[in-house]
Amino acid sequence: MTPLHFASMCAFIITTMGFLLHQAHLIPTLLCLEGMMLSLFMALSLWSIELNISLSFLTPMLMLALSACEAGIGLSLLIASSRTHGSSHLQNLNLLQC
């Protein structure tokens, strides 16, 4: 295992632990989710470089585009919930009450 593989694996584990432990507010949860996506992007980029296949370079770019869409949806959800509920606490958000 190369140091870059180890770093991407550690980054994914740390952000997953942060996602599981810090679920009080929406912003830290979204940041941990974005960190998970970036560590997966780093791992997929390393994988495509190691294989030297020209078509494998599309996979990290597609994942990065989907990650940007996820971040935009998360921020719009944050704005909508803070406007309707007055806070970004995840305990106050119940989709059945909307």
Residues sharing a CB contact under 8 Å with residue 39, sequence separation 6 or more, in sequence order:
8, 9, 11, 12, 15
- Distance between CA atoms of 11 and 45, rounded to whole angstroms? 15
Total residue count of the chain as it appears in this document = 98
* Every domain of the chain and the residues it spans: 3-85
Smallest CA-to-CA distance from 41 within 51, 30, 53, 33 is with 33
C-beta atoms surrounding 9 within 10 Å: 14
Q: Is the pLDDT of residue 98 over 60?
A: no
Q: Is the pLDDT of residue 97 over 70?
A: no
What per-residue confidence (pLDDT) applies to 75? 86
| Pick among 2.60.40.1930, 2.70.150.10, 1.10.287.3510, 1.25.40.10: CATH of 3-85 | 1.10.287.3510
What per-residue confidence (pLDDT) applies to 83? 83
What per-residue confidence (pLDDT) applies to 63? 84
In DSSP terms, which residues pair with 25 in a beta bridge?
Answer: 89
